[in-house]
Amino acid sequence: MPTQEKCPFCNQPIEPEVETCPHCGKMILAIPAGEVPPSSIDRQFTPEMLVHRLGDYLLESGVIKKKDLNRALEYQKELAPQRHVLLGQALLELGLVDRDTLDQAITRQLLSLQNALMETNRQLEDRVTQRTKDLERRLVQIRTAADITQLAISASSLSELLRRAVDLIVERFEYYLASIFVVDETGENALLAEASGKADKDLMSKGVKIAAGSRSMVGWVLVHRKPRVAAEVDDDYFYLSSDQLHETRSEVCIPIMMGENLLGVLDVQHSVTNAFDPDAVAVLQIIANHIASVMQSFRLLETTRSSLSELSSLYYASYQLARAEKLEDVTNVVTTLLEQSPYFAMFLLPKRNNMQVLAAYTPGLPEWGLSSKPPQYPESLEVLPADINQLFAQKDGGPVTTTPGEPYLILHSIADTEQPVVVPEALLGFLRQAGYQSVALIPSRRSGTLDTLVLLATPQVTGFSNGVLQAYASLAELSATALEKVRASQRMLKQMNALATLNTISQAVSVETDLQTLYQVIHREVIGVMGNVNFAIAIYDKDADTITVPYMFDGKDVKNVPAFPLGEGMTSILIRTRKSLMLVEDTERKTRELGAKLVGKPAKSWLGVPLLVAGDVLGAILAQDLEREGRFDEDDQRLMETLASQVAVAVRNARLLESTYRQAERERLLYDITNKIRFSPDIAHILETTTRELSHALGTRRATIQLGLTPDQPPQPPAETPPPNQPTSASSS
């Protein structure tokens, strides 16, 4: 039975002739006979391994016995709480050994430790020397990889990159030959593009061409798409000998790949055996990866240049979108681009519960024999943005084609009811009725959230080219960026308007004493920020437990609502809870959930903020939109809460001022009446003056004063108060 082979790195059993260890994942290279693999290097010695502890040494030397050592250790343990006793000291104190014998034993042990340290230092110096050499070699490899990376960034052409790359590999690593083969369009052949080293000019002049699967290292890599190492080329079946390269003893071929796309092969040869250890192969693979990245970039650049005329409109659109300041500007640019499309094209924006159709274009009539009915679509498609976003979160299964950027969802036949990916009918129903067959959904997504969606449809069951998908993906991305900029600009403008509003209202609160005028100022500033919405200010009377609406704008006129009891409406709930409340969708259901009674047509959006001063609620500021959902946002709520704090102070101050005025007026009237009574000559004039002044002050027609009534004598009916210029009679009894 043959001996089972083991991995030279992890020492695990492996099958014969495997190229990569299934346990540690490292590449298996040929190891010459007699060479010791890394895992079997002798273990390094340390002083702790070479020198015994004192107790063990005394036992082995026969100075003490086992029972003496145990007794000394017990003695140490007993004295540990009081003082620290060394083993030698414990032996001396117990009389188990004399001083001379102990000193000789310690001396011999120290000499052994010194020898061990010297041996360890020698081993460390050897290891440092070897590590230094390894680090220097590794540093050269890293520097070369970094230089090629820098070259990849600054290279003006692909040929320059390839030429400088092979030159650096040969120069820095002192290899025999480095060459780069480029795969042709068919992927079946590799052509020599650049070479550096021995016989490079001869090889370049001959124009070497190697077929995939041929008996060669390069041909093997073209098929298997993974590195291949020949530690000794004479022992490798796939080594292709050459008269110009007769000094080659080891070779490695590295695939130059971008994703799953094989672009070429890096072939490196050396005049010594076993020249390519795993570290060298890893560095060469990094270099190959950088070369692949630049090769892919140059190829994409060439493709872009060839289709520049087709994409010029897209670049123009990007310029226009960068200058867009409003949603209408973005819509106009997108519409112009869609009108140049040979497909039915639709541009959609996600909203709360649907997808808004921002722009759409229907091309001319389809070919003969196909339906000519144009698709009928509403202003918004009743499909949740989350459902569409979920389509692009599916990585496994379904017709999801992964490309640089976002995935595209392509349905080659929407009439097929057994599609592996379930697309909402709202996106396909109207297209199916119009006779379209193939549909492409191209999203723009950020942080896993859908920003925009481009929908393409064609009556042909042919699909869409990658160039078309990339162009519309760029349109979706540019439009999403422009919309985000527009939203940010609008938010900034709104915040600036809000600050101006707060400043204006602060000034009005500080100088305005008439509440009705202040309400008008607040209303004017609020609609300047939020737009034309219904607006109201409600005042709560805690003593009477009633609500008065002194200012209410219903969209047309300004009205006031007389006092009504605190009840179960939204305003009453707001005043009871003393917390702001904003409902911007499904308000009717949410209103019922809050326990509020609906009166009249429910608003689509409702925002209310309480007027609070020192914890006391004085009323509320209310805004609502009867037609539009999502009318208010958190910025609007913060603005209203800031306004409410100022309005509440103004209302409180107005109440205090009004109360002060009434008190002052009462005191003035009392003073006037008292002053006039003081100058009356008799009781009759006192009574007459009192009834006249009280009647005038209270606005009554009659006043009477009755004196000396007995318990069973009913009061006389008051006499009509004569005009102020006529005397008033006073009755007495």
CATH of the domain at 205: 3.30.450.40
Q: Is residue 201 part of a domain?
A: yes
| 19 plus 51 within the same structural domain | no
Tokens representing 709? 């009534």
Q: Is residue 661 part of a domain?
A: no
Q: Is residue 52 part of a domain?
A: yes
Of residues 616, 620, 614, the one with CA closest to residue 641: 620
pLDDT (0 to 100) of residue 253: 94
DSSP 653: H
Q: Is residue 220 part of a domain?
A: yes
| 178 plus 294 within the same structural domain | yes
Answer left, alpha or beta for residue 647, where phi above 0 means left and psi between -120 and 50 means alpha: alpha
pLDDT higher than threshold 60 for residue 38:
no
Distance, CA of 544 to CA of 273 (rounded, Å): 103
- The domain boundary, picked from 650, 666, 699, lies at 650
Would you place residue 301 in the very low, low, confident or very high pLDDT band (cuts 50, 70, 90)? low
| 300 plus 333 within the same structural domain | no
Distance, CA of 170 to CA of 287 (rounded, Å): 13
How many domains would you assign to the chain? Answer: 5
Distance, CA of 268 to CA of 178 (rounded, Å): 4
pLDDT higher than threshold 50 for residue 274:
yes
Average pLDDT over the chain reads 76
Residue 438 near residue 415, CB atoms below 8 Å: no
User: What are the pLDDT digits (tens) for 645-678?
Assistant: 878 877 777 777 777 777 777 777 777 778 777 7
Residue 598 near residue 571, CB atoms below 8 Å: no
pLDDT higher than threshold 50 for residue 9:
yes
- The domain boundary, picked from 257, 276, 306, lies at 306
pLDDT (0 to 100) of residue 164: 84
Tokens representing 398? 């379904």
Q: Is residue 623 part of a domain?
A: yes
Give exposure, 498-513, as e/b (b: 16+ Cβ within 10 Å).
Answer: beebbeebeebbeebe
pLDDT (0 to 100) of residue 364: 61
Distance, CA of 291 to CA of 639 (rounded, Å): 56
| 384 plus 430 within the same structural domain | yes
| 206 plus 348 within the same structural domain | no
Give exposure, 130-140, as e/b (b: 16+ Cβ within 10 Å).
Answer: eeeeeeeeeee
Sheet holding 438-446, edge to edge: 380-381, 355-361, 344-350, 449-458, 438-446, 408-411, 400-401
Tokens 């004063």 map to which residue? 705
Greatest Cα-to-Cα distance within the chain, rounded to the nearest angstrom: 152
| 252 plus 276 within the same structural domain | yes
The arithmetic mean of pLDDT across residues 40-55, rounded, is 48
Q: Is residue 299 part of a domain?
A: yes
Tokens 């191209």 map to which residue? 442
**Three-class SS state of 732:** coil
Would you place residue 717 in the very low, low, confident or very high pLDDT band (cuts 50, 70, 90)? low
Distance, CA of 32 to CA of 250 (rounded, Å): 13
pLDDT (0 to 100) of residue 404: 38
Q: Is residue 228 part of a domain?
A: yes
pLDDT (0 to 100) of residue 176: 87
Structural domain span for residue 105: 47-132
Using alpha carbons only, give the angle 144, 145, 147 rounded to the nearest 5 degrees.
65
Q: Strand (E) positions, 322-437? A: 344-350, 355-361, 380-381, 400-401, 408-411
| 107 plus 219 within the same structural domain | no
User: What are the pLDDT digits (tens) for 436-493?
Assistant: 878 888 888 877 788 888 888 887 655 576 767 777 888 888 888 888 887 777 777 7
Distance, CA of 253 to CA of 472 (rounded, Å): 39
Rank 44-58, 295-309, 478-492, 535-549 by mean pLDDT and report only the highest. 535-549
Would you place residue 268 in the very low, low, confident or very high pLDDT band (cuts 50, 70, 90)? very high
pLDDT higher than threshold 70 for residue 304:
no
| 118 plus 164 within the same structural domain | no
Backbone angles phi, psi at 410, to 5 degrees: -120, 125
| 246 plus 220 within the same structural domain | yes
Q: Is residue 116 part of a domain?
A: yes
Among 260-269, 620-629, 698-707, 711-720, the range scoring the smallest mean pLDDT is: 711-720
| 464 plus 322 within the same structural domain | yes
Tokens representing 296? 């892919």
pLDDT (0 to 100) of residue 417: 57
| 221 plus 250 within the same structural domain | yes
pLDDT higher than threshold 90 for residue 252:
yes
pLDDT (0 to 100) of residue 155: 63
Distance, CA of 353 to CA of 331 (rounded, Å): 21
Q: Which amino acid is at 587?
A: T
Alpha helices in 366-446 (DSSP H): 385-393, 425-433
| 52 plus 36 within the same structural domain | no
- The domain boundary, picked from 281, 306, 331, lies at 306
pLDDT (0 to 100) of residue 679: 74
pLDDT higher than threshold 50 for residue 92:
yes
pLDDT higher than threshold 70 for residue 231:
yes
Of residues 680, 729, 677, 733, the one with CA closest to residue 707: 733
pLDDT higher than threshold 80 for residue 357:
yes
